[in-house]
Structure 1
Amino acid sequence: MSEQQQQRLIVGVDKFENIVALLLEEAGFWVRRGFKVALTQDEKRQIGKTSAPKPEIDMLAYHPGRQELLVLEVKAYQDTPGVKLAQMQEVHEVPTGRFKLFTSDLYRQVVFTRLQQQLLELGQIAEHTQLRLGLIPGKVNQGQSEALRALMQERDWFFWSPDEVKAKVAARSAQG
């Protein structure tokens, strides 16, 4: 990939994340992007990855009225086929692949516990705040959006499809 192509990709990803953040804020969420979770060495051993870097959450979206914190994977997925249902259905004991929080129960539990502790210590959430995993992709593999939605609903995870994001942007544009 050329430097120019890489730059276009970065701009596209940033633009998509900016749009998603704006839509979430308009829905009553406070948004924070690129949050690093500081796992301890013991927690890294627990997940089977002693030399793992700090997990980075694409976007945190906190809704004070509902006491809910969305832990979001937000990706434009330009120049790719998009999210594939099969990727989201994988199950791994040791975190592997692109969607570790979705495919490894142990990893998700450890990261969520540490994330909640960090945010409590920073005074950014209340103790009874519920954490909920979510996905907002800019692209989903051909015809898999509804199946992906069903999977996300079954697991009580948050999901906005690319079509929903487009509709929300269109509605916002229509309002002026």
Structure 2
Amino acid sequence: MDYFESVIKTLLEGEGYWVRQSFKVNLTKEEKRQVGKHSIPRPEIDLLAYKPSENRLLAFEAKSFLDSPGVRLSCLSEIHDIPEGKYKLFTCENYRSIVFQRLRQDLIDCGMGDSTTEIVLGLAAGKVYQSRNAEIKELFSRNGWLFWSPEDIRNKVIALAKRGYENEPAIITAKILMRQP
């Protein structure tokens, strides 16, 4: 289990989402051919977050990059005909369309969604290269995607300290760090 994903999962749950980690989408051989890679492994979505009151499903990627330069706008802005790189769902429209069609069918097959469930792509970034948060938010807004910047995540973690006690590492840590001396 990725601990950054676990923190983001806790934040999503705090906003009323039911969350599953590391969800593998079962592309068929034909769908793999359609995306241009017949031997591609099953796509794995870091977090699937479903909000029943809105019939909305977030397909959320979580990239901490805390001790690296961070998420790069240039990488998210690339456009590929065949999926490649770390951000395939963001940079290859054909791949995203096929993966989301199969995801919807997988969810219908296991009773976790229906044909009207809205699927929204999202990214939570622990660090952004050159602090280009505004530009990434604009790119995501234009595409109908959701972006949680490091500042958004920080504010959501701080808000955890105000919640009632739960035996959850992220909430306990937030309470310890935000406690006034």
User: Does the pair score TM above 0.5?
Assistant: yes
RMSD across aligned C-alpha pairs, in angstroms? 1.2
Match 1:25 to one of 7, 10, 13: 13
Q: Are the counterparts in 1 of residues 27 and 99 from structure 2 also a CA contact under 8 Å?
A: yes
Q: Which runs of 5+ in 1 are unaligned?
A: 1-9
Match 1:146 to one of 134, 141, 146: 134
**Which residue does 1:106 correspond to in 2?**
94
Partner amino acid, structure 1, of 2:50: Y
Partner amino acid, structure 1, of 2:125: P
CA distance in 2, matches of 1:143, 1:159: 14
CA distance in 1, matches of 2:163, 2:19: 22
Match 2:42 to one of 54, 57, 74: 54
CA distance in 2, matches of 1:35, 1:172: 25
**Which residue does 1:63 correspond to in 2?**
51
Q: Which runs of 5+ in 2 are unaligned?
A: 165-181
Offset at residue 175 of structure 1 (A): 4.4
SS at match of 2:159: helix
Task: Count residues with an aligned counterpart.
Answer: 164
SS at match of 1:142: helix
Match 1:40 to one of 28, 37, 43: 28
Partner amino acid, structure 1, of 2:21: R
Deviations 1:119-151 (A, max 9, x none): 100001122101111101111112201110111
Offset at residue 114 of structure 1 (A): 0.4
